[in-house]
A and B are shown apart, each in its own frame.
Chain A
Amino acid sequence: MADDVPYLPWEHVGQEPVPTGKRVGLLVDPRRCVGCHACGVSCKTEHDVALGGFRIRTHYLRRPDRDTHLFMPMMCMHCQDAPCIPACPNDAVVRRADGRVEIDKDSCQGDTSCIAACPYDAIHLDPHTNQADKCNLCSHRTDVGMVPACVEVCPTEALRYGDFGDLDSALSKTADACGAQPLRPEHETRPTVVYAGLQAWMGEAARGVQLQDGENDIVYER
């Protein structure tokens, strides 16, 4: 690093719109995750998320084979057959051209049908705005060439973002190579978020993104 100016990425983001892709999504790798919650706190800060609601949450799952934990981040799965979209009477849950599912803030009336329809419990009602809220893969970031906040901070690349619509993308290839699978495929919603090293018990154990009844101490599954 001499005095001639290196390329400083933070000086260049946001200036030009950047196309995102055909079917954007995430590859989650619980084998890499260390449960540090960098993703969760960064996400909540990025989006000013109310206490009590979660766009992403990392579960500490008790392993069936040994006395330790497996760490598994969960967020909106950006399903290709997303039940939340038809559930909304106000057409406020929309799919963008790049495949991601978003809440349209101009249309959301705080009807909670989408929340009830989501099999991953990925949507919550923001108590301040009385509108639905969930992961949108940080469209305000990805539209200007950045990766989602959770992906950016993750120290171990347990979260990767990219375009599954492009079969030659790094994400598609990595996901293929490790045989990544959606969580709980039995819901038949065709998620665009897939998990590496997934085993059936993990889908059973990781219940949902939001706090469950009685989940007062949210870190460890009972």
Chain B
Amino acid sequence: MTTYDPTRRDVIKTTAAAVALGALGGTLMPPWEAVADEPPGDDRPARRTIDYRKAKATPTVCFGCTTQCHVIGWVQDGRVVRISGNPLDPNSHGHICSKANGIVHGTYYPGRLLYPIRRVGKRGEGKWKRITWDEAYDEIAARLQKLRDEGRPDKFAIQVGRDKTSGLTARFLSSVGSPHGLNRRSICSSNNRLGTMTYYGTIMDWGAPDLARTKYVLNFGSNLMEAHQGGFGGIQRMQEARVDRGAKLVTFEVRPSATASISDEYHRVTPGSDGCIAMAMAHVLVKEGLAKRAFWDRWCNIPFAEIAAQVEPFTPEMAARESGVSADTIRRLAREFAAASPRCTTLLNRGAAKHVNGIHSSRAVFLLDILAGNVGQPGGFGIVNRGGWKGDWGHEGLPLVGEPGPKPPKPPKWKPGMACFDELPQEVKEAYERLPDAWKAQYQGELITPTQYPLAWQWQVMKVGQMNYPWIREGRAKIDTLFTYCFNGGYGYPEAKVCRDVLADESLIPFHVSIDIAYSETAALADIILPEATALERWDGQSTNAWDYVPFTGVRQPLVKPPGECKSVWWIYHELAKRLGPDVFQYWDFPSDEDYYKRYYANLPISWEQFKRQGVWQPSGREPDYQLFERPLTAEEMEGASIDEATGLVSKEIKGKPQTIGIVLDGTPVRGFPSPSRKIEVRQSVFEQAAAVVGLSDHPIANPLPTWFPNPAYEVMKENELRFVTFKWNVHTQGRTAHHKYQAEIVHGNPIWIAPETAKRLGIADGDLLEVEIRRPAGPVWNSDPSRTCGTLRQVARIVPGVAPDLLAVSHHLGHWEYGPIGAGQLKGTAGAEAMDPALLADRDIPDNVWWAKEKGGIGTGVPLNDAMPIAPTPLSGGQAWYDCVCTVRKVPS
């Protein structure tokens, strides 16, 4: 039964020894080789065990993914030994996922950066010397001071990936005078956020349907069980609703994900057809009289007849042709959904939204909630405001929480006559002239307010991160000094090579400082690397959506001091500010990072010591935020308010500015939605406006009503071509966990998933080596031309039943060539070793027991795929259309 081979370990030991000897031959010996285990003898190394009588427990906030669960860190002998859940967390109920303990291994990873280093060779050559923090600060501050002296602080930018610093990035930029806080939202959630924003006027961070109380969920492309932003609280609620209370989960997906697997029904669909299915379901609800007319008439900004006409052409038969789901199934599911109202909800994420039609697909899906009248109802589609506690809609009654003063002024908007504006290329200036005046007034250059993508900034400033590097290359933006923070676009952005090429070019980016934990593909292209504290070693504020609609907040606090010379980003900005003089330092003049966060939370009705002890604070006795839009305005709120006769809008002056606070409906002033009309804006004129600005008025994307249109790349797909998508795993987060040893042990390979019927048609067997050529996009997308290849990748085939037909699927996360021995799977050595320290961070498993590394005869650590994925910003929003790709495939000899 057992297949254990006691000799196998010996083989591995021998191989490792040979490798270590080879490594001594020329290249620098990697730090982890120096501390490789001695063979076990009488002096066996003791296994670390946790003694809960002695270990110290401290509440903090996880950074393993995007969810921000409250956790307890256990510290023994000065090291974090374990993360468990904080039972006071109303979302997680004290549970955690695999990624929480992963960050322990990221914190003590032998490849972790511990000391500041400066490059001594060419940029990207991998030659470094260790420097002191003073040397680093002085050089960086001198660069920033020069830009300030020249009156061009806008040439400073900070590009973040996952920025969990409670506003520090923007604060530092504003302190220096630059607007250039660059982010990555467009490669993540911008299209789905536009779905809720264009209806309700709030982006909600992430959708929070009331899964704990629902009876029926139609899931369009959310991988809730593995990779849904903020999704951890949804996992337990969905499973309890399903298993204990008989709720039904129906998932439309393109591959048998964990979410598809636990669903009561999984329907394989053509990528990007989700919106068509939703429009057809809306058609059924309208045709069969299943829509809740009273809710529609009260809250929507168009008459019911108008939406009835709009959904008319989207028959279930049409959706069946586009999606592969039968018309009968679409009809049945629409009826089941309506029958469960109001305890029914849609669930949506990138699977439906990261397409060229993704904004409209999101709107089409959310239309079902409006028609079913489940909006804001227990068990329905929740409308909440995002975290932040800034006194916005949905924050009523909460103490104000946030950055302590004095706060730096916001950098100025750009206008003709300013140097930054005047040096813009002529075509950008012409595009600026086409913007409506209100939009012009927001303009801050192409990286922040790109003229080609007005919906990336016209409401919420989301930006178009994947275009930053092409635009810098094209001269549409000029940056002198770039910080990258928790950002690895050189690996993870579409056409990542463009990002790397620009970062490697000193004429385009004269100075690049990377602030990071490990030696990433992007850090490799820096001039100076600053080693950062991990999430277990620093402070941060936290507030996010509450799955049960009672808001809560909490604090990340350090469990241990960082090893080596790592510093938290707060201290890095503090020290740089000090060197930039009193006019900058006035915004950073706090005795400590803890003091800063103590002030951040000063308004909480709880002592700082008690807050730290609990980790979480939630107002007691607050009713869940159901149907906030129906709450009558109080007499106090109505005091001094005026009512517009024509629209019913209630407004009053708050802090010197006139603001809309509600709407009179049927004679009663109620709060309404946070949209400009306080109604659900089913007709959304911003699409027409934005499309006019960029010359797409005739494209269906200009449609102000919910709609769907096909992916232009599929329209011109050839006989021999296949669809191509990427996906995410439950044990990994973006590109930043592939070096966490226990997560990597579970998922380290990314074979090409293909359905058996497709493989059979193409003569592909499991394990065959394939070469995939991915085409450029089609239609009104940047740099589109489906006849050209964007890039290729080679990987083995894995035949997986349940994958959509004529589709290849490959997971993200993997295929790193940096990130040390586990991330890159190269046990022999790494660049950046000057910043590492074998005496400080040793792991007895690394490298000897990395059994999946190629050097150990394993399959290795996957292939990078993002170089082959085209940059494909959705028109208007710029949201990356990740899942619209078309490719060819051929077998190659292995």
Please report A residues at the B interface, Cβ cutoff 8 Å.
Answer: 1-3, 5-6, 8-11, 13-15, 29, 31-32, 34-38, 40-42, 44-48, 50-52, 60, 62-63, 66-71, 110, 112, 115-116, 118-119, 121, 124-131, 140-141, 144, 146, 149, 152-157, 208, 210, 212-213, 216-220, 222
Contacts and interface: CB of A to CB of B under 8 A. Distances in A.
B24 interface: no
A110 to B, nearest CB: 8
Contacts of B96: 38, 42, 153, 155
Contacts of A67: 256, 266, 268, 801-802
Interface stretch (B202-210, B523-531, B614-622): B614-622
Contact of B802 (A45, A68, A153, A156): A68
B742 A128 contact: no
Contacts of B2: 115-116, 118, 121, 208, 210
Q: Which of B98, B100, B618, B845 has the most CB of A within 10 A?
A: B98
B260 A68 contact: yes
Contacts of B83: 45
Contacts of A121: 1-4
A35 B261 contact: yes
Contacts of A14: 51-55
Given A40-B746, A52-B849, A131-B44, 17 more contacts: A1-B617, A8-B613, A14-B53, A34-B258, A36-B258, A38-B98, A44-B101, A45-B104, A60-B261, A63-B261, A67-B801, A68-B802, A128-B44, A129-B44, A140-B52, A153-B85, A156-B243
Chain A's interface: helix, strand, loop or mixed, by majority? loop
The 7 closest A-B pairs by CB, nearest first: A67-B802, A14-B52, A51-B849, A10-B57, A68-B261, A41-B98, A130-B40
A70 B261 contact: yes
A13 B606 CA distance: 25
Interface in B248-279: 256, 258, 260-263, 266, 268
Given A40-B746, A127-B848, A156-B236, A35 B730 contact: yes
A128 B849 CA distance: 10
B731 A41 contact: yes
A40 to B, nearest CB: 7
A216 B800 contact: no
Contacts of A46: 50, 82
B307 to A, nearest CB: 35
Interface stretch (B193-201, B695-703, B851-859): B851-859
A45 B613 contact: no
Given A36-B730, A141-B52, A210 B47 contact: no
B776 interface: no
A47 B12 CA distance: 23
A37 B104 CA distance: 16
B517 interface: no
A44 B722 CA distance: 40
Chain B's interface: helix, strand, loop or mixed, by majority? loop
A94 B708 CA distance: 65
B749 interface: yes
A207 to B, nearest CB: 9
Nearest to B847: A51
Nearest to B756: A67
A153 B98 CA distance: 9
Given A8-B613, A45-B104, A153-B84, A40 B749 contact: no
Contact of B620 (A1, A208, A216): A1
Nearest to A124: B4
Interface in B179-223: none
B749 A32 contact: no
Contacts of A44: 101, 742
A46 to B, nearest CB: 6
Interface string B39-63: 0100011111111111101010000
Contacts of A40: 98, 742, 746
A29 B52 CA distance: 28
Nearest to A58: B746
Contacts of A6: 88, 614
Nearest to A153: B96
Nearest to A45: B101
Nearest to A216: B859
B398 interface: no
B363 to A, nearest CB: 29
B239 interface: yes
B747 interface: yes
Contacts of A11: 57
A52 to B, nearest CB: 5
Interface string B71-107: 0100000000111111110001011111111101100
Contact of B225 (A35, A63, A118, A154): A35
A189 B132 CA distance: 62
A71 B563 CA distance: 38
19 contacts: A3-B605, A9-B87, A10-B72, A14-B51, A36-B97, A40-B742, A50-B845, A68-B260, A71-B258, A128-B44, A128-B844, A130-B44, A140-B49, A140-B50, A155-B96, A156-B239, A157-B236, A208-B2, A217-B859
A37 B746 contact: yes
A5 B610 contact: yes
Interface string B841-873: 000110011111000001100000000000000
B667 interface: no
A203 to B, nearest CB: 13
B1 A34 contact: no
A154 B85 CA distance: 10
A191 to B, nearest CB: 15
A128 B746 contact: no
Nearest to A133: B47
A10 B94 CA distance: 11
A51 B98 contact: no
A36 B86 CA distance: 19
Contacts of B104: 45
Given A2-B620, A140-B51, A155-B232, A45 B4 contact: no
Q: Which of A5, A41, A131, A218 has the most CB of B within 10 A?
A: A41
Q: Which of A40, A70, A112 has the most CB of B within 10 A?
A: A40
